[in-house]
Amino acid sequence: MREITDALVLLLAGGIGSRLNILVGHRAKPAVPFGGLYRIIDFALSNVMNSGLTRVGVLTQYKPLSLMRHIGTGEAWDFTGRTRGVKILPPRTGEKDSDWYRGTADAIRQNIDFIQANPSEEVVLLSGDHIYQMDFDAMLEYHRHKKADVTIGMMVVPKSEIHQFGAGIVDAENRIIDWEEKPKVPRTNLASMGIYVFNTDYLLRTLARDKQEIDFGMHIIPRGIEEDRVFAYPFYGYWRDVGTIQSYWQTNMDVIRPDSGITPEAWGIRPNTEADGRPMDRAPARFVSGCTVHSSMVSAGSIIKGTVINSVLSPGVEVCKGAVVRDSVLFEDCVVEDGAVVDLSICDKRVRIGAGAVVGQGGDLKHANHDFPKHLYTGITLIGKKAQLPAGMIIGRNCIVRSEYTGEDIMTLADGESL
């Protein structure tokens, strides 16, 4: 019988990602555009591809259609062929439509048949909403060397941020001896990256043992630490959870900052350029005489007649004469008309900013959004997909304009207000 060496990958991509607000109003969090050319999930899929792993199950749940269209057959990441492939795994609803995945372990438990149909010695569990580069083959070798039942990718983070993560306390051999899930008073700065390697037999036994254990961080891992061999795999590279507007904006800015440590092209991150049928066919970006561009990423199909500073522009963005885009992220096919200003903002696809309009006016960044004070509080303004802002409209800081807004009755939006 052939020795099984190719680990099976299960990629969790079903989270709502509600802290990204209107950016996930029409799509799953892993399908949110990132860095001009990519979707967030491209990083996990490309890491799998570059690690030589060939069999992937993608667990979806919340608004999965754009994600499913993006992944397609998996050809963009070489997941097509007789012995390779990517399969979308939607929730197995029970008697009630609300019987969705109740937690990470429950999601895997509902797909045990997929694990059994794809024999492997190990299962690699990943999240589809992180920006990083990692060699999973090296992690698998480490896991085998340690004779571990479970290996968890972990990295040092500031203690002020550890409350967002599972945290592990390790001994001299990197064996995890204690665990804290999102601790309010941390005893360690070693955080889980949401990347796991399980021995397949161990995983199946564990999931069958107690079906009330629905989450890895809350239930499976703490018990495993007490009874079995659970190790930390130390990671020292660039890794970001882009689950908030602030971290999403900052990570986009890191793409254009030379010393940030993130270099998607050098990492071998692949987008699916044919998913929407347009980027592949776009002409090179055009920079009209008299324009100004500093420290920015400008993607194919864009036309720049005005000024772009410290910004990330996806394919097909037009910045017209006299317009200024500064410290902002613009998705595909946005248009900034003559004399308009976009400052410290994120604009979803096909937004049009009317002539002379200002998005992100004023220097006071302290007034949090009235409706979502925990989402927008650092000055960033969000403009929803296909919103059409009339000429001369003035929008302040920490504001939200809903998708497909076309009104002209309100011409001023004060700091923290929403439409």
Predicted pLDDT at 277: 54
* Distance of alpha carbon 74 from alpha carbon 345, whole angstroms: 32
Specify whether the CB–CB gap between 176 and 216 falls below 8 A.
no
**The listed CATH number (3.40.50.180, 1.20.1640.10, 2.160.10.10, 3.40.50.1980) that belongs to domain 280-419:** 2.160.10.10
CATH 3.90.550.10 in the chain: give the residue spans.
8-255
Predicted pLDDT at 309: 98
First to last CA, the chain: 63
Maximum alpha-carbon separation in the chain: 72
Q: What is the pLDDT of residues 269-326, one digit of tens each?
A: 999 987 665 555 789 999 999 999 999 999 999 999 999 999 999 999 999 999 999 9
Token pair 């011409």 is at which residue?
Answer: 411
Burial class for 266, CB neighbours closer than 10 Å (0-12, 13-18, 19+) = exposed
* Distance of alpha carbon 104 from alpha carbon 98, whole angstroms: 16
Specify whether the CB–CB gap between 228 and 149 falls below 8 A.
yes
pTM of the model: 0.92
CATH 2.160.10.10 in the chain: give the residue spans.
280-419
Closest alpha carbon to 216 in 90, 127, 106, 114: 106
pLDDT band at 95 (very low <50, low <70, confident <90, very high): very low
Q: What is the pLDDT of residues 137-158, one digit of tens each?
A: 999 999 999 999 999 999 999 8
Q: What is the overall mean pLDDT for the chain? A: 90
pLDDT at 101 over 80: no
Between 76-80, 179-183, 340-344, 400-404, the lowest mean confidence (pLDDT) is in 179-183
* Distance of alpha carbon 331 from alpha carbon 137, whole angstroms: 34
Predicted pLDDT at 197: 97
Token pair 């239930």 is at which residue?
Answer: 219
pLDDT band at 2 (very low <50, low <70, confident <90, very high): very low
CATH superfamily of 8-255: Spore Coat Polysaccharide Biosynthesis Protein SpsA; Chain A (3.90.550.10)
Closest alpha carbon to 119 in 203, 11, 215: 203
Structure-model confidence comparison of residues 14 and 169, the more confident one: 169
Mean pLDDT of 34-50: 95
The tokens of 369 are what?
A: 């959004």
The tokens of 53 are what?
A: 């792993």
3-class SS at 292? strand
